[in-house]
Structure 1
């Protein structure tokens, strides 16, 4: 029987086995075998899988070639089992048990040996593991001690680092405190330096001390929370005031010294008078000051670099004023003398041109000298105002009285051109910022010229146009035009010098005045003057037309007015302005009605809630009246042209118009049937039987019209050519006249066709319409 292997639970369990198994597993995981190693193990396992029987169990076959005896039987025989006599079953079972025990012992012997070996090795491993455990415990204790030492060391290091940080922070705090206290400690150092007898502007320590003082003031100003900062600030400012006062005194001393040297050189020079005569550009009064500029340049440069602070801006402004005072003291006499010489020798336009050119030159030289002293301030025009304004005032005071008495518009317009175009437009732009300080005074002079020019223009419009008193020669139309035609026929071709001689003088004055003022005055001022001038000129032309109509003929008066209104419209067309002016007036006309109602007790004077309250009652109404001179001119021209057209039409075809009107009135009365039996009996007769409409009467009026067309109408055209030189203008004016004449003939011809026979129409001899049109066209 096969033996049953002992269960796993029967194997001895120990810590060494478990640790060994764990060790093998860990080893297998951490150090796996390669494929080659695994193949070698498999080959070794296969080789030892079938072990041969032991030599004592093997029995070779007999010599007779019999079969070999099985190993078990041989073994039993060797054990003597086969010699036993089995009598009964009990013996068999005993024998079998013994045999089975012997076989089991033989089979499990090698396992017991292996087990014993393993137990010995396990015991050995347990001893080793115990030693290892003891060693590990020692290591753990050592590691614990090491951790404790490391913790203590780290704590010590952290404490040292914290101390170093605190030390550094205290050092920084001490340094910060020392740096802050340095600003306060500087008070004593700076005070002792500034109050020292050796301290002056020329000392090389002055500017560094001044800068340090500025830094201290800035720091104390920015930190008012510090104790006694206000006290220190006051003391620092006192030192700064003293330093700036020293700078001001030094600058004044240098400038006065340079001025005294220049004056002494002028007085000691034989050519001192020539210096004044030759002009302000004399080099003597600039060379000495340029040397002074080199001496003051370091300190003035420092002041300009700190001009963002109000204290330095103030001292810089004072230095500017000191410079301007000294320069003005030197040059004002020369400038005044030169301008006085110009005023004695030259007229107002020449004086303006020469004076402005001279002042520009002086201003340019002074600006260049100013730039030597104050390079950063030279761009500011206002810095030189204390110098340039008094110099410019000499020219202004010289021009102003002469300007007030100047009444010639041409001279005033020339002044405007000089100031606006030459001086402000060309010279000022060409010289740039160096003469920019002259701009305010020049604009002031220009404004005065504009004001005087506007006043003179209004006076000219009132006196020469509105109040013009024409002479017989002024109203000699058409004689003046006829003489002009004779003169122009003998003159050379293209000579239009006498064109203006045929104009009515107020028109000539209006056009001339407006053409001069257009480029000289502001648009708003010119608009008002132009509106007034056109209005009064149009009124003057209408008055002259009435006088000419009485002295000559109504046709002359009409053509005179048309001619001059057309010229006026043409001459004002280039002016790019609106001739519309809004007049505002206060209207008190409603006050009387309100006062009456108050006196009657209808309303209360103190009822502020009603529209008739005291405030509203005595508040005037503002009335706006817009007048457009150009539109009024167009309206007057249109009315005059229509009047002329109707007068010429009536002159030529008045008989026809009267006849057609009378016939139309008769037909209207007949159709109404309200005039009684007598009228009915008259109207019942044919038209040609009427006395006024007989063929003879009609032929007579047709002949009268034909005579007017042949005789009167050419005279009209001659007059039109005399007054209106432009053919297109005559054509435009003649076209409605022609239309009216043709229309009158068409109406009469239509009436004749309906009321008269062919023979009667032939006896009347009315001209055909196409022939009439050709005849009228030939008159052009």
Structure 2
């Protein structure tokens, strides 16, 4: 019974003192197993007893002894089972203790291993740190060694370069020249920046610079000698070969650049070092000077011969001469520009100077020809040619910069000559033009041309007769010129005048008055030849001179023919001028600055008149007024050629309207004056069949007089309309001019009718007078 008590004590002892205490969950689980084992034991015993009873049916518990035996048996059996179970539990307990011991040993070993690992880790880290420090020290030493070697190399290069630079042919013939000069530059740069850090740096720097100067000088000498040898090889034996028709240009550009690649390599070394010393810049300038002297000596003679041959062969074809010579110089400039960059890499002002000298020879040859030209056509064509073909097309090309400047200078000289000749042309051919009898043969010339037109139209049966030419801007010119006159209505005239119609022979350019034709021709030449500002100023002079010449012709035609012909002549050509100057876009006004000597003149006159008061200290001292008030004033005046033309058109139209009104209504006014008298006068010529009988009544006299007056009016009106149609060739323009006349005639005619109606109040007398309505009077033809 000791074992069960020990087992009980084992389970009842304090868990906090055990080596491996159980958790609450584990304790619950063990208690569940114990209760389950008890239940199974009781059931087994009951089952066994039942089975025993069943097996031993004869066994009966009839007495206490049997029952006691049976009880002992059962108790023994249960004790055996309990002992067996306890033995198993004790074995389990021993194994758990052994396992616990093993676990303690494992934990001890693990703790030892952990301590050893931490020690190894610490030692490893210390080792790594030591390695890193050693590596850094090693790297620093390597960098220091490399820096020392690099700096030392700049000093050690002196001996190597001394050997290389001792060979005179090595510099120009060896391919290692470029890297050698680059290394030399590095050495010089190092010594320059560290001259104060090293004791012998200045002496090394001096030696390196001496080597560099020697190399640059050798390059300069070699390049100059090579260029001279090439020029000697290219130069022909005699100058008779140098003709533009031979292949000398191919020779001078193809063979000349044989050694260009080698020279360009050497010049590139010299060009990159010009900023280091002025001596190297001088070396480069020497090479440039030698190159351009050789090129100028080679190509200059060829250009001279070529220009002389072109001038001799061109004759009077100046445009062809300028075009061919300019194309030659364009090609030369481009070839020279490209050839220069075959030898050099950097742009230099000496190239521009060289090209300027070449192109100046073109200017020197062409300028004497241009400044002696007298014809406006030739000068104008040359200006247009130079501007369009040689300046505008090449203005943005670098290789033709010198050529463009030369052409601009030649263009300016040509324009100056054109302006000069234009002023002479204005004086001789426009302002001082003396018209011939044929020039003033108006309207005979227009009638002849109209007859030719009608014959031409009549010969062409397939083509219907078309109206006379409608000048598109004639109506608008009349409207704008006399816009303050009441008979101008709206813009319908201008809209209708835009319709296209045939051109009348009388408006052909060749049939215009010579000064008008010369004016339009002169403006057309100037417009495409001069700049805008110069053209605007010169066009004003041309237009004013033309207007003055038309005034002279107008006066002569009035004296030679009639006032109507004179007025229509100048109106016609003023309208033509107004129309023809529209495409030229002439500015409406130009301001001119001039000196006004009005105050100066007044002060001088006063000084001469008041000589006695020259030295008086009063306000009337004329000398002081001359000094302080007699200074010329700078003033501006506005010149407007279009406005001048419009004003002249308005002036002549108003004069013409006034004249034709007086001309048409002269008889009507006389009739009105006669009607106001007591007795109608001037009846001697009323009847064409002889003298009227004395008994003719007064009504008949007035009727005959009215009929004669209206017939005269119709005849004059038709004559004026015929002249206007002949001169103006535009029905709308004629209607605009004639409308104001109709308005005035209407007023006068209404006055005449009123006088007649007052004089003859009866209806029978008014019927006898046969007074026609005004509408019929202004539209009908004269009565036979």
TM-score (norm 1): 0.71
The superposition leaves residues 43-97 of structure 1 with CA deviations (integer Å, 9 ceiling, x where unpaired) of 98975573416999999699899888899x9569989xxxxxxxxxxxxxxxxxx
Equivalent residues in 2 for 1:239-254, closer than 5 Å: 239-254=211-226
> Contact 1:652–1:705 at 8 Å: present in 2 too?
no
> Contact 1:586–1:622 at 8 Å: present in 2 too?
yes
Equivalent residues in 2 for 1:461-476, closer than 5 Å: 461-468=426-433, 475=440
SS where residue 21 of structure 1 aligns?
Answer: coil
SS where residue 19 of structure 1 aligns?
Answer: coil
Equivalent residues in 2 for 1:409-558, closer than 5 Å: 409-424=376-391, 437-468=402-433, 475=440, 477-478=442-443, 481=446, 503-558=512-567
Equivalent residues in 2 for 1:138-287, closer than 5 Å: 138-179=109-150, 181-183=152-154, 185-216=156-187, 236=208, 238-263=210-235, 265-267=236-238, 272-276=239-243, 278=245, 281=248, 283-287=250-254
Q: How far off is 1:159 after superposition? A: 1.1
Question: CA 1:579/1:123 → structure 2, altered by over 3 Å: closer, same or farther?
Answer: same
Q: 1:625 aligns with which of 622, 631, 637?
A: 637
> Contact 1:16–1:129 at 8 Å: present in 2 too?
no
Where structure 2 has 5 or more consecutive residues not aligned to the other structure, the ranges are 1-6, 460-502, 608-616, 620-626, 682-697
> Could you tell me how far apart the structure 2 residues matched to 1:582 and 1:722 are?
39
Give the corresponding residue for 1:405.
372
SS where residue 583 of structure 1 aligns?
Answer: strand
SS where residue 301 of structure 2 aligns?
Answer: helix
Higher mean C-alpha deviation, range 489-498 or range 192-201: 489-498
> Contact 2:550–2:570 at 8 Å: present in 1 too?
yes
Question: CA 1:528/1:117 → structure 2, altered by over 3 Å: closer, same or farther?
Answer: same
SS where residue 574 of structure 1 aligns?
Answer: helix
Q: 1:582 aligns with which of 591, 613, 618?
A: 591
The question of 1:332 aligning with 2:300 is answered yes
SS where residue 52 of structure 1 aligns?
Answer: helix
Give the corresponding residue for 1:136.
107
> Contact 1:465–1:540 at 8 Å: present in 2 too?
yes
Q: 2:578 aligns with which of 552, 562, 569?
A: 569
Question: CA 1:285/1:138 → structure 2, altered by over 3 Å: closer, same or farther?
Answer: closer
Higher mean C-alpha deviation, range 174-183 or range 492-501: 492-501
SS where residue 531 of structure 1 aligns?
Answer: helix
> Could you tell me how far apart the structure 2 residues matched to 1:224 and 1:714 are?
112
Question: CA 1:130/1:501 → structure 2, altered by over 3 Å: closer, same or farther?
Answer: closer
Question: CA 1:473/1:219 → structure 2, altered by over 3 Å: closer, same or farther?
Answer: farther
> Could you tell me how far apart the structure 2 residues matched to 1:563 and 1:688 are?
41
Question: CA 1:584/1:133 → structure 2, altered by over 3 Å: closer, same or farther?
Answer: same
SS where residue 625 of structure 1 aligns?
Answer: strand
Q: How far off is 1:718 after superposition? A: 3.6
Question: CA 1:753/1:219 → structure 2, altered by over 3 Å: closer, same or farther?
Answer: farther
> Contact 2:711–2:782 at 8 Å: present in 1 too?
no
Q: 1:766 aligns with which of 765, 771, 775?
A: 771
> Contact 1:527–1:579 at 8 Å: present in 2 too?
no
The question of 1:388 aligning with 2:330 is answered no
> Could you tell me how far apart the structure 2 residues matched to 1:455 and 1:180 are?
76
Higher mean C-alpha deviation, range 533-542 or range 124-133: 124-133
Question: CA 1:197/1:714 → structure 2, altered by over 3 Å: closer, same or farther?
Answer: closer
SS where residue 201 of structure 1 aligns?
Answer: helix
Q: 2:322 aligns with which of 343, 349, 352?
A: 352
SS where residue 237 of structure 2 aligns?
Answer: helix
> Contact 2:61–2:67 at 8 Å: present in 1 too?
no
> Contact 1:59–1:69 at 8 Å: present in 2 too?
no
Give the corresponding residue for 1:608.
none
Give the corresponding residue for 2:20.
19
SS where residue 290 of structure 2 aligns?
Answer: helix
Question: CA 1:405/1:224 → structure 2, altered by over 3 Å: closer, same or farther?
Answer: farther
Equivalent pairs counted in the alignment come to 689
> Could you tell me how far apart the structure 2 residues matched to 1:49 and 1:221 are?
115
SS where residue 645 of structure 2 aligns?
Answer: helix
Q: 2:721 aligns with which of 717, 722, 725?
A: 717
The superposition leaves residues 340-365 of structure 1 with CA deviations (integer Å, 9 ceiling, x where unpaired) of 44445634545434432443444455
Q: How far off is 1:453 after superposition? A: 1.2
> Could you tell me how far apart the structure 2 residues matched to 1:247 and 1:441 are?
35
Q: How far off is 1:109 after superposition? A: 11
Q: State the superposition RMSD in angstroms.
A: 5.5
SS where residue 200 of structure 1 aligns?
Answer: helix
The superposition leaves residues 490-532 of structure 1 with CA deviations (integer Å, 9 ceiling, x where unpaired) of 9998996995675443323212211211211122221211122
Higher mean C-alpha deviation, range 731-740 or range 17-26: 17-26
TM-score (norm 2): 0.71
Question: CA 1:774/1:326 → structure 2, altered by over 3 Å: closer, same or farther?
Answer: same
> Could you tell me how far apart the structure 1 residues matched to 2:132 and 2:26 are?
48
Q: How far off is 1:13 after superposition? A: 2.6
Q: How far off is 1:715 after superposition? A: 2.6
SS where residue 173 of structure 2 aligns?
Answer: coil
Question: CA 1:452/1:653 → structure 2, altered by over 3 Å: closer, same or farther?
Answer: same
SS where residue 266 of structure 1 aligns?
Answer: coil
> Could you tell me how far apart the structure 2 residues matched to 1:226 and 1:456 are?
78
Q: How far off is 1:720 after superposition? A: 2.7
> Contact 1:742–1:772 at 8 Å: present in 2 too?
no
> Could you tell me how far apart the structure 2 residues matched to 1:223 and 1:691 are?
134
